[in-house]
Amino acid sequence: MVGGVKLDRVLVYGLGRSGRGAARFLAREGTQGEWLDARPAPEDLALMEELGWERGDAARPYRTVVAAPGVPIDHPDLTALRAAGAEVIGEVALAARLRPALPMVGVTGTAGKGSTTVLIAHLLRACGLNAREGGNIDPPLLDVVDTAQVAVVELSSFQLERVPGVRLPVAVITNLGVDHIDRHGTVGAYHAAKLNITAAQEAGDVLIVPADLTVPTRARLQPFTPARLALADGTPVMDAAALPDGIHPANAAAALLAAEALLRHLGRPVDAAVLASALGTAAPVKGRFETVARVGGVRFIEDSIATRTLAVQAALERAAPPVAWLVGGRDKGADLAPLRTAAAGRVALVVAFGEDGEALARGLGLPYRVVPGDTGDESMDRAVQAGLDALEGAGTVLLAPIGTSFDQFRDYRERGDSFRRAAQALAARSGGHG
């Protein structure tokens, strides 16, 4: 029995971080489920054994399938399960359905959704609410639903494919760019998944969108949702240099609007002074435009997750020039034209590393230097040194790589950790500080 709703014949399809969170949540509530994963990791198998859950079978009948975001919504197994009568949902729909009293703020976008999610939760905590972030960002949402007064949920397009009936009193779209075409097929389908964040909103709910959202996109939204549109304009919020690392002014504006809207939804007072003070004390999200070391007047900024054009562009615009820009990894077809514009007059040198670093640098049309390396750490050590050498005692060595990490690293976190170690070792040798 979960939240007054009896669950039986439940299959958790796809383990990993999200699936493990769903299984732990269901097991805590006394639901005995089954699991299915084509390539379970050792920690997945250990948890399933601990819970006493058996491996399922897509040919069996189930009432509910909780599918991990990494499983395509049109996966043959999910299609077969639906055809056999199963409802396929994700962790967010499970949380909303079985913990209906928990207010949730949803955040999506092509770039900036993680830092905006964390910032909203920080602002709400400053106002006296026990707000917890989760979802696409650590931890899984279902790990926090029973300890939070408010959940602030980062929502990927994958998660938003499986949120039937999830009403969010406050929703945020940070921006709409181009990403995950390999999964969604077209930009239109990708944007349609993102817009599911407002699909179940009602009159009186709030949908926050960027002030510079194109008129055609805004026109598509108005008949799509009865929610009140609120425009986030970063210009008057605060001078960009005064914001904590990793927080773009437009996202700060969106976070302030979201916090205010949620407080009003709960019937709580809105204290602008408290919110403004909290904005200035927000901590950066690890690995998202974070200063990790300094040598003299040179800052080393890690933004390893910046592989989408919008995210890289934001990093370039925020980094103090002159910039030594570390670019590399495996090219995933990013649009380089906006990056050439953002880099003009700001980037002193592109330092190219990894599998497609040189090709990306050539495509940018900027001065560049290629650094070799048989391993990821070796490449990063040389790239960091080359970045510092390109600057004359002031500026920014910026890791905003454009390419994915999978050529030399396990994931963007490992790549970011490598940059961090290299920068801090260089700072130590140079008498700088981390």
Q: Is 177 annotated as a binding residue?
A: no
The mean predicted confidence, pLDDT, of the chain is: 90
- Is residue 329 a contact partner of residue 355, using CB atoms and an 8 Å limit? yes
- Is residue 376 a contact partner of residue 416, using CB atoms and an 8 Å limit? no
Quote the pLDDT of residue 1: 41
Quote the pLDDT of residue 246: 65
Name the β-bridge partners of 170: 105, 206
Q: Is 110 annotated as a binding residue?
A: yes
Q: What is the pTM of this model?
A: 0.80
Q: Is 114 annotated as a binding residue?
A: yes
SS3 104: strand
**If you write DSSP's letter for every residue of 14-42 in order, what string do you get?**
--HHHHHHHHHHHHHTT---EEE-SS--H
Quote the pLDDT of residue 245: 66
**If you write DSSP's letter for every residue of 115-135 in order, what string do you get?**
HHHHHHHHHHHHTT--EEEEE
Quote the pLDDT of residue 120: 97
Find, among 362, 364, 380, the residue nearest to 372 by Cα. Answer: 380
Dihedral over alpha carbons 388, 392, 395, 399 (to 10 degrees): -20
Q: Is 112 annotated as a binding residue?
A: yes
Quote the pLDDT of residue 410: 82
Quote the pLDDT of residue 189: 85
Amino acid found at 270: V
State which residues of the chain have pLDDT below 50: 1-4, 241
Span 306-333, pLDDT tens digits: 998 888 998 999 899 999 999 999 998 8
Q: Is 109 annotated as a binding residue?
A: yes
- Is residue 324 a contact partner of residue 295, using CB atoms and an 8 Å limit? no
